[in-house]
Amino acid sequence: MIRSPSSRWVCVALLGLVLACDRTISANDYNRACTQDAQCSLVKDGDVCDNGCGCPNAAVNNDALVEFTTDRGSQARGCGPRFVGGAEACAACSTTAVCRAGRCEAQP
């Protein structure tokens, strides 16, 4: 099969588009084990390019927080302008991190 050079670039462009669209992060990919609430930290799970004021919606073990935050920041590169509103622009979050059945969870 003979391929033209232009078809190769289309494939690369399509592959790049697919990779650029995968900008989600899941707390389930990190350590969530716990025995008490103090071992858990809140995180924002989901689309790292979401510019809104979403409240934390998941929790990880404190030992996994740095890794989660670093990975989220790495994935967010190239997302475009970030939300830059002040505290008054977002509703207050009342979510807390709890240890439930040996697993860190976010509790509204």
Question: Which pair of structure tokens corresponds to residue 9?
Answer: 């670039």
Confidence band of 51 (pLDDT split at 50, 70, 90): low
Output 6 or 30, whichever has higher pLDDT: 30
Q: Summarize pLDDT for 4-16 with one digit per residue, the tens.
A: 333 222 323 344 4
User: Taking residues 98-108, what's their average pLDDT?
Assistant: 97
Segments making up each domain of the chain, as ranges: 5-107
Residue 54 DSSP code:
P
Give 72-91 pLDDT, tens digit per residue. Answer: 988 888 787 665 544 445 67
Identify the CA nearest to 50 among candidates 84, 31, 76.
76
DSSP-derived secondary structure letter, 3: -
> Comparing C-alpha atoms, which of 11, 43, 10 is closest to residue 28?
43
What confidence category does residue 28 fall into, taking pLDDT thresholds of 50, 70 and 90? very high
Q: What is the pLDDT of residue 35?
A: 98
Residue 52 has pLDDT above 50, yes or no: yes
Categorize the per-residue pLDDT at 50 as very low, low, confident or very high, splitting at 50, 70 and 90.
confident
